[in-house]
Amino acid sequence: MDTLPSPLPTYLREGLRFLRPDSLRRRARALYLAAQPHLARLLGGRPVALPAHLTERYLDDCVRAVRALRPGLPVVGMVPPVHRAAVYGYVHSGRPAGEAAVRRWAGRHGVPLLDLPSLIGAHVRGGHGNPDGIHWGFDAHRAVGQAVADTVRHLDPVNP
């Protein structure tokens, strides 16, 4: 989700749920949802939900915490997936920078990566997931689960 277009800053988008009265909240949410695909195209997919440098920082924090609390616990990363979602204007221009950030992070920490576009790209692009174009169907979930299991199975639990 970090790489998706987010024309409204996250704190404002997430804050829509706190608007009152309810009728104002519903109108504001409907306006945002109607405008989002157009703004995503108009702004070229910028800004994204989370800039790539922050993705790296948060992944750094996560892997350090996991390794401090549970040394030897396998850590597996995932390359950002693809989508074909109308709600995002079919725009995903932030994905390449997000992928590069995840790959840099994984290289620094010795974390194996699952290449989600390779695993589920054809599934999503072929319309085999949910109608929203972003959520995967059962076949994609099965493929990713199997890939995670295969990756973890081959990791050394003592020296990840």
- pLDDT at position 159 over 60: no
Output the average pLDDT for the chain: 93
pLDDT single digits (tens) 82-95: 999 999 999 999 99
Model pTM?
0.86
Which residue type is seen at 122? A
Q: Domain 10-153 is in which class?
A: alpha beta
Please list, in sequence order, all residues whose beta carbon lies within 8 angstroms of the beta carbon of residue 97, skipping any fewer than 6 positions away.
3, 48, 52
- Return d(Cα 93, Cα 19) in angstroms, integer: 31
pLDDT single digits (tens) 103-150: 999 999 999 999 999 999 999 999 999 999 999 999 999 999 999 999
Spell out the domain ranges in the chain. Answer: 10-153
Residue pair 108/13 in contact by the 8 Å Cβ criterion: no
